[in-house]
Structure 1
Amino acid sequence: MKILFTVAGTLLICDALLVASVISVNTGVIAAFAVGVVYLLYGLFHEKIRARTGSGSPKVLRISLLVANAAIILAISSVAALGRVDTVSYDEDAVIVLGTAIKGEAVTPALRERLETAVEYHEANPDALVVVSGGQGPGESVTEALAMRRFLVSRGIPESAILMEGRSTSTHENFVLTKSLLDARLGERYSTVFVTNDYHVFRANELSRIAGLDSASLHAATPWYTVPVDYVRESLAVVKLLLLRE
């Protein structure tokens, strides 16, 4: 267990630093770094903790840690599995590309995966309206929606087929504001599918229903080196969803 926590903690810290340097410092980076520090300290000072807390406490502590980690692993595994189950039919009226962080004006690897998936969807269903949804956050020179539109146009999708929603700052707002735009453009009866990375599909499904879209889903891959950070952040976001319904 000592070696396991030491290795896990070291990997989480390194991954958080990598994502911070390549993309940006966000909630997931901070959370993954914090969890990594806790794991690393527990692994390095396991014997001292055991000596100071007496003979009974370490066993309780170890069992608590194992149960907590088993619950986290089960939750993450469930989110990951559900995130790879697509419900897309390829005859939807609109495909919604959910935004995520950009670096300056450049799309980041995770967003690129979403956009490449949207391009593939457009090739299969060119009549669908493509909605790019995402506002401007810290460290971003333009809105995520504008960066996404530029990318899609460079890949051959006509500007006339793209609708921009550039005010949202959360997944909940992505769907609420996009629904307003689509209601005005398509009327009351239309079908949608959203595109996002696999780790994000479970929560996006729920938020789509809350917003009244009840959209189908199509997953994009998650870059391997952002997986730990993304899933730590998503775990916190799922807890927020369960508590606040947003």
Structure 2
Amino acid sequence: MTRADSAGEAGPPGGGTRAAGFLWIAVGTALILDAVIVLFTISLNSGIVATFVLGALYLSYGLYRDRTRGRARNGPFRWLRVLVPTASVLLLLLFTSLAVFGRTDTVSHREDAVVVLGAGLKGDEVTPSLRSRLDAAVGYSVANPDAVIAVSGGQGPGESITEALAMERYLVAHGVPEDRILREDRSTSTHENFVFTKSLLDAHFDADYTTAFITNDYHVFRAGRIAENAGIGSTHAHADTPWVEIPVAYVRESLAITKFFLTGR
């Protein structure tokens, strides 16, 4: 067999293969940079770590494709050419489904109470993601001035005060009367948010009451399922996710959804 014949069997490296390798490198680099940027706006969490790791995997895969162009189909890692794109498509479908569901609000603005779910602080400062939830709560309070607003969130790593206290301060500073706010400051998870807040609302209302909850769009689906498990039938309103936090938020939520389906929390 001549060298030309051998080269013909292997096939010349195509422009499409090169472009695909560059795309994976670009996506991986973007995810790594996003994780680093978000680290400066919120405390370190699993979403930041997972996004950094995912970016590193994509970057490595893109470099691998580029270096083995024309040979990878016969190499020991050729299964990566199927596994990585397939897993990525499934992940993108999950992210899209969460976004579409999360942005479809069901609130009537006639609920008796609205529960604002906490999110991480940076020291005692409200982070962009939490600020978005609180701004949505301010808007809801204007549309429904009779509703009680329950802010829910304890104190986590990297936080110098409870999330509930920071949330109450923000709402008061933006015109919400303090006597309309109930503060739940013990919870450390979404499940506890609803369980502990339900106890407060049960004590506050003499009769049956209706509720809505507010959280970021990526979190609405799981939060709704957890609310049901906690015995709270609730409508919901979404808050936008700051664009810089979108990759980290959705990667973290995919991990949280996996845990939810395994444990129910």
Given the two structures, how large is their TM-score scaled by the length of structure 1? 0.96
Q: Indicate the residue corresponding to 2:261 in structure 1.
A: 242
Q: Which residue of 1 aligns with 2:105?
A: 86
1:102 to 121, 139, 160: 121
Letter in 1 for 2:61: Y
From 114, 120, 124, the equivalent of 2:139 is 120
What CA deviation, in whole Å up to 9, does each residue of 1:108-147 have, x standing for no partner? 1111111111001000111110000000011111000000
Partner of 2:92: 73
Can you give the 5+ residue segments of structure 1 that lack an aligned partner in the other structure? none
Return the alpha-carbon distance in structure 2 between the equivalents of residues 49 and 68 of structure 1: 21
Query: Structure 1 residue 55 and structure 2 residue 70: aligned?
Result: no
Corresponding residue of 2:193: 174
SS of the aligned residue for 2:150 comes to strand
- Among 16, 31, 45, the alignment partner of 1:26 is 45
Counterpart for residue 17 of structure 2: none
Matches within 5 A, 1:132-143: 132-143=151-162
SS in 1 for 2:145: coil
1:92 and 1:192 in contact (8 A); partners too: yes
CA distance in 2, matches of 1:17, 1:113: 21
Rounded to whole Å, the distance in 2 between the matches of 1:188 and 1:205 is 23
Shift of 1:184: 1.1
- SS of equivalent residue, structure 2 residue 74: coil
The structure with the larger Rg is 2
User: Once superposed, what is the RMSD of the aligned Cα atoms?
Assistant: 1.6
Q: CA deviation at 1:54?
A: 6.7
Flag the 1:125–1:52 CA change in 2: closer, same or farther, 3 A.
Answer: same
Q: For the Cα contact (< 8 Å) 1:50–1:58, is it kept in 2?
A: no
Matched, 1:214 2:227: no
Look up the equivalent residue of 1:243 and give its one-letter code.
L
Match for 1:194 among 192, 196, 213? Answer: 213
The answer to which of 217-226 and 48-57 deviates more is: 48-57
| 1:46 Cα deviation from its structure 2 partner | 2.3
- Residues 97, 194 of structure 1: 8 Å contact kept: yes
Deviation track 1:3-41 (CA, whole Å, cap 9, x = no partner) reads 111011000000000000121211100000000011111
In the superposition, the TM-score normalised over structure 2's length comes to 0.89
Counterpart of 2:231, as a letter, is G
Tell me, in whole angstroms, the C-alpha distance in 2 between the residues paired with 1:130 and 1:120: 12
State the aligned residue count: 246
By how many angstroms is 1:199 displaced? 0.7
Are the equivalent residues in 2 in contact too, given 1:49–1:58 (CA < 8 A)?
Answer: no
**Is this contact kept in 1: 2:72–2:78, CA < 8 A?**
no
Letter in 1 for 2:140: Y
Q: Secondary structure at the match of 1:156?
A: coil
Counterpart for residue 13 of structure 2:
none
Query: 1:92 corresponds to which letter in structure 2?
Result: E
- For 2:149, give the aligned amino acid: V
Q: AA paired with 2:239?
A: A
Does 158-167 or 39-48 show the bigger shift? Answer: 39-48
Counterpart position of 1:154:
173
Q: In the alignment, is the contact (CA less than 8 A) between 2:124 and 2:159 conserved in 1?
A: yes
Q: CA deviation at 1:43?
A: 0.9
**What is the DSSP-based 3-state SS (H/G/I as helix, E as strand, rest coil) of the residue aligned with 2:116?**
strand
